């Protein structure tokens, strides 16, 4: 639909074939409209959602008001063999003491000899027993093709696979194995900006863990895609309940009830996420109009050590049960809030024609040297067969084929000839305002956090002129947001950050505060990187991986020493230490006194 003359039009989403139905549902609830391939112009969508990867041209042709749900070139962590290779490289550079969160892995057939050596070494050491191994096809998901073995004679494969040390002592709840699905949004790779969602999923196996039946997938694999077909899926399983999922809130309650320092565990997972993303961050081209939602699968062993199993590209957004609704709807809404649409985005090119640009949308390796950005060719070249392109083309002159950098006066004057702005603000496109719908939404955010978030300008964007001012933003806040409950609400848990905080000071030195500081929280997404001033600086310009890793290392050491004090006392000390040091890690760690399990409604 073309932008209305009198005010902002609805934002428009475009779903590629196979995109999750939940995305459609959530966006429609927010008042968005679905893109109509036939009736609308190519530039007339705001969000393009694909489950598979975009083409390079999609990134090159992106327009200021548009967002994509993937960054380019993240396969380095989302394919099992690439992840193994990259983690190995990081271990080589930074030591296996730090990068010790992934089970020993071999990529077969290439690493067969090395695997054989390791296997034999274990057998000799352990009186003929090699321990347990798991074999996984490198490019399959949902548990397909996976098997566990002890004897190398059972290792049979006909495609590229990884063979990984099987974590045979997982933490169990009433005898059931589980893993955690952690949702992570990389808002930007340049600068690296990572958010972790406070909610998430705990995915249970549906038969009790038993090492004497390695081929029982319902006992050893925790994929929902497998366990929903288990004969025990609907059975009310001791403590676990029916189905095979919990919310993360419920899990945290459970840990708390067991006297476990769940926030310490959470922080360790947080470090795993950061260290993993640092392996690819320098090689991902800048694409400020993209966000990416990753699903990190974490297994916790009986000693409470979290292990990274894999990183999922396009984590499942299907709805199998009420827990999915609780977690994934909030997650998606928060993700859209992180995309930070501005009122001007809803009027698309009409709004942007009134603006001047000072940075490009996409900085692929080539355009890194170039100060300009390609507009879609379709918007600039005459395609007689393509009337849609032509109509947009007639709006932008040929001289606007590139978005200008600030200094490109030539193009600026071309723009002035077709736009009718007050000529006031340079208003680039991409890195959005802090006035996200999340901030304006009616969520139970800790007041201090929301003040902080509002105080932070996360953008190079200057205010835009009155026609598209933020008063119009209210039209972008959906009824859903107005009525939404905190993520924990559905299982009657408080949001993790409510209550108990004394008013902290702003964690940055105000003098050094600049507009590049990302919001600490958007909905239930909590900023986890950068996490202090040093990492903030390290993330700008060219990411300084060494410094970033060093800071994570320091954090881990602090945590380790903090944790040697017993439980609560240790954590309180840690919180105080962090506050003193002006780190904002403590914001992430939640209330010091989460409710007892008996106070929670645990029904799914």
Which residues of the shown chain bind ligand ADP in the complex (CB under 6 A)? 103, 134, 136, 140-144, 146, 164, 166-167, 179, 221-223, 297, 299, 309-310
Nearest to 348 by CA among 382, 311, 396: 396
Tell me 319's DSSP state: -
User: 90 near 278, Cβ under 8 Å?
Assistant: yes
Task: Report the nearest approach of ligand ADP to the CB of residue 85 (Å).
Answer: 15
Choice between 147 and 352, CB closer to ligand ADP = 147
User: 307 near 301, Cβ under 8 Å?
Assistant: yes
Count Cα atoms within 13 angstroms, Cβ side, for 224: 20
Q: How many residues are listed for the chain in this entry?
A: 604
Choice between 177 and 329, CB closer to ligand ADP = 177
Which runs of E-coded beta strand occur in 301-432?
306-313, 373-374, 402-403
Choice between 203 and 256, CB closer to ligand ADP = 203
Helix (H, G, I), strand (E, B) or coil at 396: coil
Choice between 66 and 78, CB closer to ligand ADP = 78
Task: Report the nearest approach of ligand ADP to the CB of residue 442 (Å).
Answer: 36
Task: Report the nearest approach of ligand ADP to the CB of residue 134 (Å).
Answer: 5
Task: Report the nearest approach of ligand ADP to the CB of residue 597 (Å).
Answer: 24
d(CA 453, CA 578): 19
d(CA 300, CA 203): 12
d(CA 49, CA 69): 5
Choice between 167 and 192, CB closer to ligand ADP = 167
Bridge-based pairing state of the strands 33-34 and 172-173: unpaired
Task: Report the nearest approach of ligand ADP to the CB of residue 495 (Å).
Answer: 27
Choice between 135 and 476, CB closer to ligand ADP = 135
Choice between 136 and 433, CB closer to ligand ADP = 136
Task: Report the nearest approach of ligand ADP to the CB of residue 587 (Å).
Answer: 30
Task: Report the nearest approach of ligand ADP to the CB of residue 178 (Å).
Answer: 8
Count Cα atoms within 13 angstroms, Cβ side, for 120: 6
Task: Report the nearest approach of ligand ADP to the CB of residue 94 (Å).
Answer: 22
Choice between 221 and 456, CB closer to ligand ADP = 221
Choice between 126 and 593, CB closer to ligand ADP = 126
d(CA 506, CA 519): 12
Choice between 306 and 530, CB closer to ligand ADP = 306
Choice between 82 and 456, CB closer to ligand ADP = 82
Task: Report the nearest approach of ligand ADP to the CB of residue 72 (Å).
Answer: 22
Task: Report the nearest approach of ligand ADP to the CB of residue 315 (Å).
Answer: 10
d(CA 541, CA 471): 34
d(CA 332, CA 312): 16
Q: Write the burial class of residue 589 (CB in 10 Å: 0-12 exposed, 13-18 middle, 19+ buried).
A: buried
| Three-state SS letters, 448-513 | HHHHHHHHCCCCCCCCCCHHHCHHHHHHHCCHHHHHCCCHHHHHCCCCCCCCCCCCCCCCCCHHHC
Q: What is the Cα gyration radius of the chain? A: 25
User: 346 near 116, Cβ under 8 Å?
Assistant: no
Q: Write the burial class of residue 339 (CB in 10 Å: 0-12 exposed, 13-18 middle, 19+ buried).
A: buried
Task: Report the nearest approach of ligand ADP to the CB of residue 247 (Å).
Answer: 17
């Amino acid at each position: 639909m073309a932008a209305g003359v009198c005010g902002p039009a609805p934002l428009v989403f475009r779903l590629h074939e196979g995109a999750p139905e939940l995305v459609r549902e959530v966006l429609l609830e927010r008042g968005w409209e679905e893109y109509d391939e036939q009736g609308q112009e190519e530039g007339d969508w705001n969000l393009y959602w694909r489950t598979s990867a975009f083409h390079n041209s999609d990134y090159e042709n992106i327009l200021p008001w548009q967002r994509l749900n993937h960054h380019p070139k993240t396969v380095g962590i989302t394919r099992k063999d690439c992840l193994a290779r990259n983690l190995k490289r990081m271990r080589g550079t930074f030591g296996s003491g730090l990068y010790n969160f992934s089970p020993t892995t071999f990529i077969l057939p290439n690493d067969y000899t090395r695997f054989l050596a390791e296997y034999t070494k274990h057998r000799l050491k352990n009186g003929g027993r090699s321990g347990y191994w798991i074999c996984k096809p490198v490019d399959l998901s949902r548990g397909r093709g996976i098997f566990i073995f002890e004897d190398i004679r059972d290792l049979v494969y006909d495609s590229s696979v990884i063979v990984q040390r099987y974590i045979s002592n997982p933490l169990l709840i009433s005898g059931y194995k589980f893993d955690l699905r952690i949702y992570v949004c990389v808002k930007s790779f340049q600068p690296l900006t990572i958010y972790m969602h406070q909610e998430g999923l705990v995915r249970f196996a549906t038969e009790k863990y038993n090492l004497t039946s390695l081929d029982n997938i319902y006992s050893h694999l925790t994929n929902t895609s497998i366990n929903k077909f288990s004969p025990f899926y609907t059975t009310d399983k001791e403590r676990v309940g029916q189905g095979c999922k919990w919310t993360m809130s419920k899990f945290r309650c459970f840990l708390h009830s067991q006297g476990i320092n769940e926030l310490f565990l959470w922080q360790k997972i947080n470090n795993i996420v950061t260290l993993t993303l640092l392996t690819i961050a320098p090689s991902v081209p800048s694409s400020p109009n993209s966000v990416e939602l990753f699903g990190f699968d974490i297994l916790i062993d009986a000693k409470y050590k979290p292990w990274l199993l894999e990183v999922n590209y396009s984590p499942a957004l299907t709805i199998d049960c009420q827990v999915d609704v609780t977690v994934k709807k909030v997650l998606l809404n928060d993700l859209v809030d992180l995309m930070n649409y501005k009122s001007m985005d809803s009027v698309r090119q009409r709004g942007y024609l009134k603006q001047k640009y000072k940075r490009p949308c996409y900085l692929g390796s080539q355009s890194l040297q170039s100060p300009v950005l390609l507009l879609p060719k379709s918007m600039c070249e005459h395609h007689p067969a393509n009337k849609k392109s032509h109509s947009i083309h007639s709006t932008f002159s040929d001289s606007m084929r590139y978005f200008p950098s600030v200094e490109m006066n030539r193009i600026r004057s071309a723009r002035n000839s077709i736009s009718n702005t007050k000529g006031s603000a340079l208003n680039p496109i991409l890195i959005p305002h802090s006035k996200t719908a999340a901030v304006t939404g009616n969520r139970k955010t800790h007041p201090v956090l929301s003040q902080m978030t509002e105080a932070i300008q996360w953008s190079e964007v200057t205010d835009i002129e009155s026609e598209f001012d933020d008063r119009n933003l209210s039209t972008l806040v959906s009824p859903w947001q107005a009525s939404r409950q905190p993520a924990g609400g559905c299982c009657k848990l408080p949001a993790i950050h409510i209550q108990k905080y004394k008013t902290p000071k702003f964690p940055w030195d105000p003098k050094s505060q600049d507009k590049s500081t990302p919001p600490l929280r958007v909905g239930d997404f909590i900023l986890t990187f950068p996490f202090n001033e040093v990492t903030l600086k390290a993330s700008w310009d060219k990411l300084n991986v060494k410094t970033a890793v060093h800071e994570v290392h320091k954090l881990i050491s602090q945590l380790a020493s903090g944790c040697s004090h017993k439980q609560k006392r240790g954590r309180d000390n840690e919180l105080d230490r962090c506050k003193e040091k002006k780190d904002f890690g403590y914001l992430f760690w939640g209330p010091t006194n989460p409710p007892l399990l008996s106070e929670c409604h645990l029904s799914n």
